[in-house]
Structure 1
Amino acid sequence: MLDQTILRLFPPLRSAWSRQGQQARVRISGENAKAVLWGVLNPYTGHRLVQVLDKASGHRTPASKQLAAQLGIQLLWLPTQAPELNPMDQLWRDFKREVSANHQYLDIAAHVDAGVSWVLQLSPTEVLRKAGALAPGFWLRKK
């Protein structure tokens, strides 16, 4: 499963602990930057690959399809805007909660490095669990 997530220097704000009646503080620089992190996940083995691209890529370009065929990669097209069907989307959700939320990195490269490290340090079993692929009702589960 191939998917991308957008990383921004400005952190996504999530719930956080603070004293009653006081707002939680998240230090930010006021600057912003953007990078796109691409991930590929094998929903059966948990193997993954992470790549950073700085230009929007066409999922459906003829060159991409040809390369996938040469590498023996089967492409499965999911409906657009259906993150519940894409296990990589579930992995990105955990990534943003655990790595990105409420924390601004010194620069976008540090954020990207933290993201790639987080994804690649997970064991295949952890990847499958976080992606939802171990759930009994997972739609791609081999019967």
Structure 2
Amino acid sequence: MSKDRRKEIVRHLSEEDLDRLLSEADDPKVVRRLTFVKNLYEGDTLEEAANRVGKSESTGSRWARRWNEGGLGQLTPNFGDGRPPKLGEDQQQQLLELLRDGQPWKPQEIQHLLNEEFGVEYHPVYLSEFLRNLGLSYAIPRSKRPSRPDNAEDILDERVDDALDEHQDEPHNKREGDDEKGWVGDDDVCTDGGTVIGFFDASHPQPYDNSRRMWYVDDPHIERPLVQIFEPAVGFYALNGESVVSFPEDQTKERICECLERIREQNPARRILLVLDNHFAHTCEYTRKRAHQLGIDFVFLPVGSPDLNPIEQVWKSLKWEASPLIVESAEDSSQAKSWE
């Protein structure tokens, strides 16, 4: 459902003067922008006014802001006759703000923006040099989940501190509403030999690449949904213990608990502090209770924050090393992987 975004527009010109300028204008870019302003004068929303001249709402928002700030001079910069001039210092700052608002950008998108906003066109080779001199960087965008809180690092710090607090009345993994039965450690589990801290995660192939480089000012992130595929590799990356990698049939709670049992076998006699994401098989009572029985306390990452789990970089390194290998089956692929 579209939003009714009516923009308060500064009337730098009367409707009569605006009509006169429209009748005298012969540059299509000037006509398009003046028509856009006239549409706003007549009560159109930003989306409606932009659609009438074949532009997006975001472009219309920029045009309306420029008009409100400086009238015709800001709305139609450098639209004179002859060869388009290069951008001056003030215009470069204006361009930088526009690029910051919509980053990251593909080169052809920047060419289009320069042509639409300033009437300037650069050769592709010179454009790269110009953008670098402007302070931009060119790199592959890093994914950013829309659900990630701004203070994700602080949230994780608080959760780790809480988990390290040994003076707790209730089991650390227990939540309000959980069944009271079963929250007892296994008889053969010993946790008085110190604490092992590690990171737990499952690796899944993604059905798209992330290899296209794009221009950005200071924010290289791009939002992409997480797409999961079955048959994961499940890893425990220990900071001060034994790391473990498993290849379960799936990522159900039963298979995850089997992975936890392997972690306990490789790290006996010590409490285990496990940092992991919010997959249902991890957060459900069944898994949390079994982890407690094994002497494993969970620290859940903030939602949408896989970047805070260093095992993500381990997976990336392993995939890079494995990419040249030629295997004939999934079993061969699992056997070919190493854990370092």
- How far apart are residue 34 of structure 1 and its match? 6.2
Residue of structure 1 equivalent to 2:318:
95
Output the TM-score relative to the length of structure 1. 0.56
Q: Which residue identity does 2:202 align to in structure 1?
A: Q
Are the aligned partners of 2:231 and 2:247 in contact in 1 as well (CA < 8 Å)? yes
Considering Cα pairs closer than 8 Å and 6+ residues apart, tell me whether 1 or 2 has the greater RCO. Answer: 1
Are the aligned partners of 1:35 and 1:112 in contact in 2 as well (CA < 8 Å)? no
CA distance in 2, matches of 1:7, 1:104: 17
CA distance in 2, matches of 1:89, 1:96: 11
Q: Which residue identity does 1:78 align to in structure 2?
A: L
**Partner secondary structure for residue 59 of structure 1:** helix
| 1:60 equivalent in alignment to 2:299 | no
Is the alpha carbon distance of 1:46 and 1:7 closer, same or farther for their aligned partners in structure 2, counting shifts above 3 Å?
farther
Are the aligned partners of 2:200 and 2:236 in contact in 1 as well (CA < 8 Å)? yes
Cα displacement string for residues 48-94 of structure 1 (whole angstroms, at most 9, x for unaligned residues): 11111222331112121111111111211012432321021111111
- How far apart are residue 46 of structure 1 and its match? 4.8
Q: Which residue identity does 1:52 align to in structure 2?
A: F
Query: 1:104-143, aligned counterparts within 5 Å?
Result: 104-115=326-337, 118-119=338-339, 122=340
Residue of structure 2 equivalent to 1:69:
292
Residue of structure 1 equivalent to 2:142:
none
CA distance in 1, matches of 2:295, 2:247: 22
In the alignment, structure 2 segments of 5+ residues that lack a partner are: 1-198, 212-228, 253-280
- How far apart are residue 7 of structure 1 and its match? 5.5
Is the alpha carbon distance of 1:7 and 1:34 closer, same or farther for their aligned partners in structure 2, counting shifts above 3 Å?
farther
| 1:36 equivalent in alignment to 2:232 | yes
Are the aligned partners of 1:40 and 1:48 in contact in 2 as well (CA < 8 Å)? yes
Are the aligned partners of 1:2 and 1:88 in contact in 2 as well (CA < 8 Å)? yes
CA distance in 1, matches of 2:287, 2:237: 17
CA distance in 2, matches of 1:7, 1:113: 17
Q: Which residue identity does 2:333 align to in structure 1?
A: H
Is the alpha carbon distance of 1:7 and 1:82 closer, same or farther for their aligned partners in structure 2, counting shifts above 3 Å?
same
Are the aligned partners of 1:35 and 1:108 in contact in 2 as well (CA < 8 Å)? no
Cα displacement string for residues 10-46 of structure 1 (whole angstroms, at most 9, x for unaligned residues): xx8x8xxxxxxxxxxxxxxxxxx96311011223x15
| 1:4 equivalent in alignment to 2:202 | yes
**Partner secondary structure for residue 35 of structure 1:** coil
Is the alpha carbon distance of 1:2 and 1:88 closer, same or farther for their aligned partners in structure 2, counting shifts above 3 Å?
same
Question: What is the count of residue pairs matched by the alignment?
Answer: 96
CA distance in 1, matches of 2:251, 2:242: 24
In the alignment, structure 1 segments of 5+ residues that lack a partner are: 15-32, 123-143
Which of the two has higher C-alpha Rg? Answer: 2
Residue of structure 2 equivalent to 1:24:
none
Runs of 4+ in 1 over 3 A off after TM superposition: none
- Structure number having the greater helix percentage: 2
